[in-house]
Amino acid sequence: MSESLKALLDLLDLEQIENDIFRGRSPEERRQRVFGGQVAGQALVAAGRTVPVNRPVHSLHAYFIRPGDPLVPIVYTVDRVRDGRSFTTRRVLAVQHGKAIFSLSASFQIVEDGPAHQAPMPEAPAPETLPTSRERLTPLFGERAAADFVEQRPFDIRHATPLTWEAAKDPALATPESKVWLRVDGELPDDPLLHVCLMTYASDMTLLDTVLLNHGLAWGDKRTMGASLDHAMWFHRPFRADEWLLYFQDTPFAGGARGLARGQVFTRSGDLVVSVMQEGLVRTSAP
The residues annotated with a catalytic role in the active site are: 204, 228, 278
Backbone angles phi, psi at 240, to 5 degrees: -120, 130
Whole-number Cα distances in Å, 250 to 88, 98, 132, 161 = 31, 37, 22, 12
Report the candidate in 126, 205, 209 with the shortest Cα–Cα distance to residue 167: 209
Whole-number Cα distances in Å, 124 to 186, 199, 241, 272, 277 = 23, 20, 19, 15, 21
Task: Kindly give, in sequence order, each residue whose CB lies less than 8 Å from that of residue 201, ignoring residues fewer than 6 positions away.
Answer: 8, 12, 37, 38, 40, 41
Report the candidate in 148, 205, 200 with the shortest Cα–Cα distance to residue 30: 148
